[in-house]
Structure 1
Amino acid sequence: MEEVTQNPMDEANPVSFAVLRIPFFLEPEYSRDETWSETNRKRLERKWGGKEAFDAQKKRHQLKERGREVGIQHFNLDRKASNTLKSHRLVQWVTKNYGCAKSEALYDVLNVEHFVNGKKLNDAKMLLECAKKISDGVIDLEKAEKFLASDEGEKEIVLAKKALDRLGIHSIPNFVIGGKEVLSGAVHWKELVGAFRRIERTGLGAPENAFATILGIPEEIITQTTLDPTKYAATV
């Protein structure tokens, strides 16, 4: 985003960005019991068919090295893997009620707590602590607690999963840009810039969002939210 916003093709009509996170489950069959978890190491060794196969996969992907390039010094391989529905619901609730910038800030904090500090993403207490960290007095934390204790928002996430299935998206990362173009896998930043430039070249923008209606995100949240490109990654 920084490349496109700081160097617009038309200075009188620069591109702005709104980021909407789409819920995706790496392990949809995980128990919803908040007391259950397993280590991510165990999960991945099972997924790839044993320790040796997983070690080979790590070498191919070089995630540790990529993380260090962007300032992430440590991924906790033994972080607690659990059902992620609660975290998805909270991110969507914050987006719907407080905007994409707030939900992106929440996403950043959740990533640190899970990937670095190893915490479970179905821990309601931890989720509320993360919401408090980014609240700045804006988020109603009592409402957030009541929301997490309910099943509100689950129906929308189920519908979003069905939409992903229809698009043939069964893994992450994927970038759905302007509601139409899908870039899959660990794409290079230049590919994203190319997609943004194609939209910019039309001069019309890309107001469509494939998932906003499904997730119940108000139109004003999508159309009025502009994110700071120096702080947030682009998944438009």
Structure 2
Amino acid sequence: MNVVAMTDSTETGEDQQRFIVNLMSEKGETPYVRSCEVVSSAFRNRTSFVNTMPLEEVFCDPIAEGLNDCVNLLSGETQVISLPSLILEVPGLVLAGAHVLATVNDDGSQSIIIRFRISLGGIGYAFRPDVGFGAGLEDLTREVSAQVLTDLALPLLNVLSATEAGLVDAESAIGSLSQQLADRVHEIRFQIELVKRYTDGLERQRNNPQGADAVKDQPRRLSSC
């Protein structure tokens, strides 16, 4: 199961696409999926399920297992759990940073909301094929990649251009840039890792299209950025 942790807990802006899963659990029963939401700064797309479908019937195995792990952390009472370093990953999709909110209702049932603060890739990859979602939903992968380029490559290019033109001292300029990057090291590392995971997943899927299901279940380890 591709559930791994990162050591970074950087908050993400409201312009990042997010994914929300709404569950309901009758007293003593297995939770079922009520609805899912894809939220960005431009839209909010909500899909409700007519039948009481458990996680395993809605989501592909790695995502369902990861969501079940989140649910299993709950005590059965009203509570909030923050999992900022949690990542669920399948080829074509990375979900990162979970926030779990559980509320006990008057009848003993429990409403559970699992929010992922980052959804990178096509959200359709999270679902089982027979649910009917395609994997071609618009995502913010290019925007995140552009942000990484803006944070790293462009400042470095500016420093090199300025030193080449003799406008600034190379040593002091690079030192200043290093300090700026150091102040944002966790955020930049997090963005790079998400883009890397997304592209690696697509590469594995392209190289082994017949064995996509087997690839999904292979756990991965974080590499140093």
User: Which structure's relative contact order is higher, taking Cα pairs within 8 Å and 6+ residues apart?
Assistant: 1
Smaller-chain TM-score range?
Answer: under 0.3
Q: TM-score, normalised by structure 2?
A: 0.25
Query: Larger C-alpha radius of gyration, 1 or 2?
Result: 2
Instruction: Pick the structure with more helix per residue.
Output: 1
Q: TM-score, normalised by structure 1?
A: 0.25
